[in-house]
Structure 1
């Protein structure tokens, strides 16, 4: 197991329980206390976990929710339904940008037989899913690889996006508060905002569990998107408030 994979597993283990003792982590992962302490130090430095005396706890800030391997297990049926619904936005011949979200990564494999398309993405998962697909021109938005997001972010990625213009952006957000789409990490925000600026049409996919939540940084207002897809778990009164505020909301019924 790689160090990055073990760190992700440790973070998921702790966040699922809220708190864990160092001795429990040693037993669960079969490595030395020194190795566990080294991983915990790095996760604490990233702001994912909080060190306690002889134990470690999940940060209450929601930073841990940025972990790709943790996020991809959350609300999977809703993400799959939103991905299928978003196919209606895709037309042959388009240039499409996809962000690194697990919701949009559920869409990526569905595009393999929708060509001809050009797809630009910073998501390593999406790149792997689409590599070699017929009638599909794939653009890797490179930069600094970040294992937490399984994606490329940073200055190089933002600079490349500034040189592109795409027909359609399909993206997601960490949380929705009122009509604000929010993201925890400022580096991820900058990449998503660069994608937003590069796109003629912008579509947001957010499952209903993200509404009424908070993350640190503003990505965009929901009214800045041409369509906002969510599932029917959204309370009707919330949906009506958003529509009244000018949000172009599309409700997807879960099977």
Structure 2
């Protein structure tokens, strides 16, 4: 909650955070100290500033990352889930926005074959009795609940799915990047296994590149993002002749139908 509150306004005082979150100033200070130590925030006199993660190998802790742009991620996921047809085979990667797409697709209750390297996504997908859920295998990355490496990459090279739903740490011009070589390599294999790839990224992901490139925007069939995207980033996407869907976001996190 603290990160999302600071993200919305760029900065906040300790008292503002305490009043909004209904916590004591001392509790807020301890939380801020931890977030500052981890590189998310910069302390100021009596408050904090949000620090953009300019380090190319910076990785947010997954539970914190899921809080940021949460309503936008839900809305993007709802639209992406509507792109799936009964009996499709679908790769769900380990990004938090794709997880929201999996949740929305489960509510549709159409038969699918789901392939995912993310433990949380696999549990979500397993809630639908009509789905066949496949995990490629690999080594679980500490704190991320996702698997990378072998035998997962080799397995992905043997399958041919209808749709791949994938996220990115950063979109910079034509480049899609991730903070680690291992995750980028797996994403590359996922894209190569799919007939169609949909990129699900909230508007905050249009930023400086992360460490490792996994594809270029021309490898993507459709980009789904939210209406917070800057006009220059939207124009750049459309200049590459990729289909772009901009999702208006309601306050409750659903995609606006207006």
TM-score range, shorter chain: 0.7 to 0.9
Query: Equivalent residue for 1:178?
Result: 173
Matched, 1:189 2:213: no
Which of 80, 84, 87 is the matching residue for 1:90?
84
How many Å separate the matches in 1 of 2:139 and 2:78? 30
Over 4 Å off, 4+ runs: 9-13
Question: Residue 10 of structure 1: CA displacement?
Answer: 5.7
CA RMSD of aligned residues (A): 2.3
Matched, 1:105 2:105: no
Deviations, residues 7-37 of structure 1 (Å, cap 9, x unaligned): xx96786334448xxxxxxxxxxxxxxxxxx
Deviations, residues 188-227 of structure 1 (Å, cap 9, x unaligned): 0111111001000110001111113220111111121110
- Return 221-230 or 9-18, whichever deviates more: 9-18
Q: Which one has the bigger helix percentage?
A: 1
Query: Equivalent residue for 2:24?
Result: none
The 1:156/1:18 distance shift into structure 2, 3 A limit, reads farther
Unaligned runs of 5+ in 2: 1-32, 44-51, 251-258
Matched, 1:70 2:64: yes
SS in 2 for 1:89: coil
SS in 1 for 2:82: helix
Cα pair 2:163 2:194 within 8 Å, conserved? yes
Which of 146, 155, 178 is the matching residue for 1:151?
146
Cα pair 1:178 1:212 within 8 Å, conserved? no
Aligned residue-pair number: 210
Which of 205, 210, 219 is the matching residue for 2:214?
219
Query: Equivalent residue for 2:155?
Result: 160
The 1:137/1:212 distance shift into structure 2, 3 A limit, reads same
Q: What's the TM-score, normalizing by structure 1?
A: 0.76
Question: Residue 60 of structure 1: CA displacement?
Answer: 5.0
- Work out which structure has the larger RCO, using CA pairs closer than 8 Å and 6 or more positions apart in sequence: 2
Matched, 1:134 2:129: yes
Question: Residue 106 of structure 1: CA displacement?
Answer: 1.2
Cα pair 1:98 1:169 within 8 Å, conserved? yes
Which of 232, 236, 246 is the matching residue for 1:237?
232
Query: Equivalent residue for 2:120?
Result: 125
How many Å separate the matches in 2 of 1:175 and 1:60? 11
